[in-house]
């Protein structure tokens, strides 16, 4: 059908200044070319170097991805336990499998990080989404290729990916402590056997240990270079860590002259909500938000119901008041029609929305107070639940102003996609801490230093100096996060 061809005459805006090409059909994935229409015109342009790297990655995904002869051969070698191909056999196809887990925000940050790592190491990225189907949520990001890891055959190391953990014998950390790896006096590492192993598991989830953290060292990256398959388990936005890994710094600085726009570009390049999710986003937007001249997004994430709701509400109201995020009633006059504000609330609970409606609806927020869903609690393996979460992240990203709950990767994705520097509310004391006399955070919220997500589990180890260092003193563009004191972010 005519409509199913790639659309002609796409503008630079629709292609996000060259982030994507016009190779996809419009109908297969409406969000790809419509995204720009719902977001402010970008002030950050992707660098030509980044665009060149993206095109190179696309070619690699197409040449080596599932369905190609190269991929079949690589699977065969993996299953039979053969290590890296000899130079004569080598077709340049190496793979990175992202093992995703936790909530949607965590997964998206992890996939974005894995993608950048794949680009840096010239590997094909394949995504394992666990029991869920990634295609319910996202379109394919690479033209003429799939990023979905196909079902693995019996006895393949790719068979039970969710079982890999810090105890796995093929983890980098455990291999470094075994006879598989030789360590020289100057700290260089090499495989003990002349052939590299067929695969290595990278255990990079929070709470990982010293040996797994050596992933962020130049010498260990060299060790991994020829391994045909890497399996990576992480729930974090690792990109600031990659900016601290000697082998990658130069490349990353060239790809992202504006360091604080890394997720902004990668997230917009990689994630395109499926037609069903996009339909939910755009119809909700048109019915509830489009009429307002200014949209204020409020994301309230209460972790494990341990925080008293009344205190969370007061923190939010003080933040909105102190930072003048909504007009004050006394100042607004009856004939002031110059601007109208709509408030978009996202939360698992409807309680905050009800209170905000009492406080603001019809008075200050003439565009109304809106909440698309209140799911009650976080659910796993539920496609409809995830689709709501994703559509709300995208709705938040269309706002002009954002207030988010600290620590939440859900909020990070929204701010990153929208290019918004949110006001972040630090996590308030739990009931117990409250009883012990802890006070509410002061100020109630602080402006994030950049739109970038925070990396919650960095390695503090400086491989060259062989000691821990203050990570926010190494590079001018890496700082501590306002919401997570041990986390770092690009600014
Ligand atoms: P984090 O736990 O805040 O870092 O964010 P994640 O996205 O990783 O996990 C939280 C999950 O809880 C989400 O993916 C949703 O499934 C659910 N959730 C949390 N907050 C909201 C919300 O405001 N709206 C919806 N629809 N779901 C939410």
pLDDT interval class at 479 (50, 70, 90): very high
151: phi then psi, degrees, rounded to nearest 5 = -55, 135
Contact partners, residue 438, CB within 8 Å, separation at least 6: 429
pLDDT interval class at 244 (50, 70, 90): very high
Q: Average of pLDDT values for 376-380? A: 91
pLDDT interval class at 133 (50, 70, 90): confident
Minimal-distance CA residue to ligand 1 atom 19: 348
Beta bridge partners of 361: 365
Examine the domain organization and report whether 309 and 237 are in the same domain: no
466 occurs within a structural domain: yes
* 3-class secondary structure, 81: coil
Ligand 1 centroid – CA 389 distance (Å): 6
Distances (CA, A) of 207 to 102, 110, 412, 491: 14, 15, 21, 25
Q: Average of pLDDT values for 337-362? A: 90
What's the confidence (pLDDT) of residue 305? 66
Task: Find which of 181-195, 373-387, 409-423, 431-445 is predicted with most confidence, using mean pLDDT.
Answer: 409-423
Query: What is the residue whose two structure tokens read 């709701």?
Result: 309
Query: What is the residue whose two structure tokens read 């109908």?
Result: 27
CB distance 385 to ligand 1 below 6 Å: yes
The CB-side HSE value for 196 (13 A sphere, CA atoms) comes to 22
223 occurs within a structural domain: yes
Ligand 1 centroid – CA 191 distance (Å): 41
What's the confidence (pLDDT) of residue 1? 47
Examine the domain organization and report whether 2 and 29 are in the same domain: yes
pLDDT > 70 fraction of the chain, expressed in percent and rounded:
96
CB distance 392 to ligand 1 below 6 Å: yes
Angstrom distance (rounded) from CA 220 to CA 241 = 14
Q: Average of pLDDT values for 399-421? A: 97
Q: Where are the beta strands (DSSP E) in 272-429?
A: 294-300, 341-347, 369-370, 401-405, 423-425
What's the confidence (pLDDT) of residue 361? 84
Q: Among 225, 257, 289, give the residue marking a domain's end.
A: 257
Q: How many domains does the chain have?
A: 3
What's the confidence (pLDDT) of residue 218? 95
Q: Are strands 467-468 and 461-462 parallel, antiparallel or unpaired?
A: antiparallel
The model's pLDDT over 252-277, given as tens digits with 9 standing for 90+, comes to 999 999 999 999 999 999 999 999 99
Examine the domain organization and report whether 418 and 286 are in the same domain: yes
267 occurs within a structural domain: no
pLDDT at 228 over 70: yes
What's the confidence (pLDDT) of residue 438? 87
Burial 356-391 (b: 16+ CB within 10 A, else e): bbebbbeebbbbbbbbbbbbeebeeeeeebbbbbbb
Examine the domain organization and report whether 33 and 55 are in the same domain: no
pLDDT at 306 over 90: no
pLDDT interval class at 310 (50, 70, 90): very high
Examine the domain organization and report whether 185 and 306 are in the same domain: no
Examine the domain organization and report whether 150 and 59 are in the same domain: yes
pLDDT interval class at 337 (50, 70, 90): low
The model's pLDDT over 61-109, given as tens digits with 9 standing for 90+, comes to 999 999 999 999 999 999 998 877 777 778 999 999 999 999 999 999 9
268 occurs within a structural domain: no
Q: Average of pLDDT values for 125-147? A: 93
pLDDT > 90 fraction of the chain, expressed in percent and rounded:
80
CB distance 389 to ligand 1 below 6 Å: yes
Examine the domain organization and report whether 357 and 482 are in the same domain: yes
Examine the domain organization and report whether 91 and 15 are in the same domain: no
Minimal-distance CA residue to ligand 1 atom 15: 389
Residue 230 · residue 224 · CB < 8 Å: yes
Examine the domain organization and report whether 54 and 31 are in the same domain: no
265 occurs within a structural domain: no
Query: What is the residue whose two structure tokens read 């297969």?
Result: 28
464 occurs within a structural domain: yes
Ligand 1 centroid – CA 406 distance (Å): 13
Ligand 1 centroid – CA 157 distance (Å): 31
Examine the domain organization and report whether 167 and 282 are in the same domain: no
Angstrom distance (rounded) from CA 139 to CA 272 = 5
* 3-class secondary structure, 346: strand
CB distance 103 to ligand 1 below 6 Å: yes
Q: Average of pLDDT values for 478-483? A: 96
Average pLDDT of the chain is 93
Q: Are strands 229-233 and 294-300 parallel, antiparallel or unpaired?
A: unpaired
48-57, 298-307, 383-392 — which is least confidently predicted? 298-307
279 occurs within a structural domain: yes
Task: Find which of 51-55, 304-308, 463-467 is predicted with most confidence, using mean pLDDT.
Answer: 51-55
80 occurs within a structural domain: yes
Minimal-distance CA residue to ligand 1 atom 8: 103
Ligand 1 centroid – CA 105 distance (Å): 7
CB distance 220 to ligand 1 below 6 Å: no
95-109, 118-132, 331-345, 463-477 — which is least confidently predicted? 331-345
pLDDT interval class at 429 (50, 70, 90): confident
Nearest CA to 423 out of 389, 399, 440 is that of 399
Examine the domain organization and report whether 460 and 325 are in the same domain: yes
Angstrom distance (rounded) from CA 392 to CA 284 = 10
pLDDT interval class at 375 (50, 70, 90): very high
Q: Among 257, 289, 304, give the residue marking a domain's end.
A: 257
Angstrom distance (rounded) from CA 128 to CA 231 = 10
Examine the domain organization and report whether 279 and 188 are in the same domain: no
Q: What CATH number does the domain containing 295 carry?
A: 3.40.50.11350
- The ipTM (two decimal places) reads 0.99
The model's pLDDT over 404-414, given as tens digits with 9 standing for 90+, comes to 999 999 999 99
CB distance 408 to ligand 1 below 6 Å: yes
Residue 434 · residue 308 · CB < 8 Å: yes
What's the confidence (pLDDT) of residue 335? 57
Domain span at residue 477?
A: 275-490
CB distance 409 to ligand 1 below 6 Å: yes
Ligand 1 centroid – CA 32 distance (Å): 23
């Amino acid at each position: 059908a005519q409509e199913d061809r790639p659309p002609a005459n796409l503008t630079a805006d629709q292609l996000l200044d060259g982030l994507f090409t016009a190779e996809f059909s419009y109908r297969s994935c409406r969000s790809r070319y419509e995204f720009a229409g719902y977001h402010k015109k970008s002030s950050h342009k992707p660098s030509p170097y980044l665009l060149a790297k993206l095109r190179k990655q696309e070619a690699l995904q197409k040449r080596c991805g599932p369905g190609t002869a190269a991929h079949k051969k690589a699977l065969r070698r993996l299953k039979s336990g053969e290590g890296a191909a000899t130079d004569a056999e080598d077709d340049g196809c190496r793979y990175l499998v992202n093992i995703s887990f936790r909530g949607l925000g965590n997964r998206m940050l992890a996939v974005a990080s894995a993608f950048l790592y794949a680009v840096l190491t010239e590997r094909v990225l394949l995504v394992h989404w666990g029991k869920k189907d990634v295609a319910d949520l996202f379109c394919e990001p690479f033209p003429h290729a799939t990023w979905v890891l196909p079902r693995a055959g019996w006895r393949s190391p790719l068979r039970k990916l969710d079982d890999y953990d810090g105890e796995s014998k093929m983890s980098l950390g455990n291999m470094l402590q075994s006879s598989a790896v030789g360590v020289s006096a100057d700290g260089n590492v090499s495989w003990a056997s002349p052939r590299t192993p067929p695969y290595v598991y990278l255990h990079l989830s929070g709470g990982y240990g010293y040996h797994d953290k050596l992933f962020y060292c130049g010498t260990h990256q060299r060790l991994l270079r020829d391994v045909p398959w890497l399996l990576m388990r992480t729930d974090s936005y690792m990109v600031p860590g990659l900016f601290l890994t000697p082998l990658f710094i130069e490349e990353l600085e060239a790809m992202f002259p504006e360091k604080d726009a890394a997720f902004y570009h990668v997230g917009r390049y990689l994630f395109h909500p499926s037609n069903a999710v996009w339909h939910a986003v755009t119809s909700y937007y048109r019915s509830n938000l489009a009429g307002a001249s200014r949209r204020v997004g409020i994301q309230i994430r209460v972790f494990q119901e341990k925080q008293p709701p009344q205190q969370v509400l007061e923190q939010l109201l003080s933040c909105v008041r102190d930072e003048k995020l909504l007009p004050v009633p006394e100042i607004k006059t009856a004939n002031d029609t110059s601007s109208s504000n709509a408030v978009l609330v996202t939360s698992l609970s409807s309680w905050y929305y009800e209170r905000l409606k009492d406080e603001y609806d019809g008075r200050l927020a003439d565009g109304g107070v809106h909440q698309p869903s209140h799911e009650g609690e976080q659910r796993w393996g539920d496609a409809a639940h995830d689709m709501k979460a994703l559509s709300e992240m995208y709705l938040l990203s269309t706002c002009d102003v954002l207030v988010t709950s600290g620590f939440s990767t859900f909020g990070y994705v929204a701010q990153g996609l929208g290019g918004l520097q949110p006001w972040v509310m630090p996590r308030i004391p739990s009931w117990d801490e409250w009883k012990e006399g802890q006070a509410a955070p002061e100020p109630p919220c602080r402006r994030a230093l950049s739109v970038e997500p925070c990396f919650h589990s960095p390695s503090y180890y400086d491989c060259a100096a062989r000691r821990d260092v203050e990570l926010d003193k190494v590079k001018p563009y890496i700082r501590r996060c306002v919401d997570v004191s041990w986390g770092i972010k690009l600014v």
